[in-house]
Amino acid sequence: MKTKALILAAGQGTRMKSEQSKVLHKVFDKALVEYPILAAKHVGVQEICMIIGHKAEEVQKALGNTVSYVLQKEQLGTGHAVMQAIDFIDEDGEVLILYGDTPLITGETLEKMINFHRTNKNGATVLSAVVDDPSGYGRIVRDKAHKFTKIVEQKDATDTEKQIPEINGGMYVFEAALLKYALSQLTNNNVQKEYYLTDTLEILLAKGHKVDAVPSESVEDILGVNSREQLAEVTDIMKQRINSKHMVQGVTLVDPQNTYIGSSVVIGRDTVIEPGCILEGNTQIGEACRIGYHSKIKNTTIGNHVDIEISVITDSFIDEGTHVGPFAYLRPHSHIGKNIKIGDFVEIKNATIGDGTKVSHLTYIGDADVGKGVNFGCGTVVVNYDGEKKHRTTVKDNAFIGCNTNLVAPVIVEEGAYTAAGSTITRTVPKDSLAIARAKQENKEEWVTKKRKK
């Protein structure tokens, strides 16, 4: 069965009080709208069309060509929004309709709705929820036999209808051809003078098609974000969901309230995540690691038994048994091997570090290939930039870089070679030799004594 998805995201989001499009506000590492996209993909949707309007260009720029777009120039209601995508809707298959501002919707919930829809051979199925405070939402109206009859908006509802606790969550699955037909019949004959998508359900019922509402097991799934407070609320729920998933799978979170893990992060068993950590993007962490307090790690793959403390790591790879930090900064394309020590105030960028190497403190290594068993003394700088271009540096296996060495790229330190502390190395250092590149010490005896006498 071919299922396409439409995501409604043309609304203005006035209550956010923001210059940015509402659906681009973030819950952890992803924009609000990325979550319904992921949920749709979870149920096998391949083609997604976004209805954009307010700040359309910004949304399009952020999401690129992962989805297609149609523009809704004026926001004349949810039904009007869907009408704009009429060419995207086929004559067969199903159409899933989601909102761009409800990030807690899960693939599992959509799956249940779609299964319910298919099992009952419905023409349309809407996701509902039974809530304590239904105010503001459309209400699901059912007859005495509890059969779905229609959805009535708060503003159009009678006092009795306003008492109904079952609300419209705003997510639907339609038989594509029936949606097309129902859209052609929509009017804006209501209090808000809007084209209500909800009216399509009554239209299909009147034509003799099966239409039903299926309550979501989790009310949270349909929570929308309209304000900064709701953004924080939804973020908190997302955090609890993600964190408990990891704990169930055998990860220790020392303080789950203060641990921020993006929804795509993978963590191995017996890894301990200490308070204040932020793990983002496509990060994968191995087993039995310790991710120490206040580390921020993004798009990075980490092997087993890695120990990290208060460090920032982006787009990198760290192999097993390695120690990083405290206060290390691993910038993009740092490839750190096994059993390495990267100590305090070390910055690494676009560099490979071989197994067993020690970079213990106060060192910058950029655009370099470092072999195995190398020792970097304190305060080494790889001088990779000449003001115009970046150049690469090579340090081969078992070399020993003395404290405060400058390695002026492009330069090679051959296997087993030493550099004397304080050297500025500009030429190849041959294998197993010592390079001393600093001014010789001169002692002016009694110089201070004479100065004092003056």
Of 36 and 366, nearer to ligand UD1 (C-beta) is: 36
How far apart are CB 69 and ligand UD1 at their closest, in Å? 12
Question: How many CB atoms neighbour CB 142 within 10 A?
Answer: 16
Ranges assigned E (strand) in 236-340: 252-253, 260-261, 266-267, 272-273, 278-280, 284-285, 290-291, 296-298, 301-302, 307-308, 312-314, 317-318, 323-324, 329-330, 334-336
Residue 9 in the binding site for ligand UD1 (CB under 6 A): yes
Residue 100 in the binding site for ligand UD1 (CB under 6 A): yes
Residues designated catalytic: 361
* Number of residues lying near ligand UD1 (CB under 6 A): 26
Residue 36 in the binding site for ligand UD1 (CB under 6 A): no
Residue 8 in the binding site for ligand UD1 (CB under 6 A): yes
Contact 287, 269 (CB under 8 A): yes
Q: Binder to ligand UD1 among 28, 69, 99, 260 (CB under 6 A)?
A: 99
* Phi/psi-derived region of residue 283, left when phi > 0, alpha when psi is between -120 and 50, beta in every other case: beta
Q: Binder to ligand UD1 among 124, 151, 231, 411 (CB under 6 A)?
A: 151
Residue 365 in the binding site for ligand UD1 (CB under 6 A): no
Q: Which of residues 217-246 bind ligand UD1 (CB under 6 A)?
A: 224
Contact 43, 107 (CB under 8 A): yes
Locate 444 and state its tokens. Answer: 């002016």
Residue 168 in the binding site for ligand UD1 (CB under 6 A): yes
Cα gap 203→24, rounded to integer Å? 34
| Binding-site string for ligand UD1 from residue 292 to residue 321, where x marks contact by CB under 6 A and - marks none | ------------------------------
Cα gap 22→234, rounded to integer Å? 14
Give the residue nearest to ligand UD1 (CB).
138
How far apart are CB 9 and ligand UD1 at their closest, in Å? 5
Side chain identity, residue 161? E
Cα gap 347→362, rounded to integer Å? 8
Of 151 and 407, nearer to ligand UD1 (C-beta) is: 151
Choose the stretch contacting ligand UD1; rule: CB under 6 A; options: 75-83, 87-95, 343-351, 421-429: 75-83
How far apart are CB 31 and ligand UD1 at their closest, in Å? 13
Strands 94-99 and 68-71: unpaired
Which helix (H) or strand (E) segment is 367 a member of? strand 358-370
Residues of this chain that interact with ligand UD1 (CB under 6 A) are 8-11, 51, 72, 75-78, 80-81, 99-101, 137-138, 151, 153, 167-168, 170, 196-198, 224
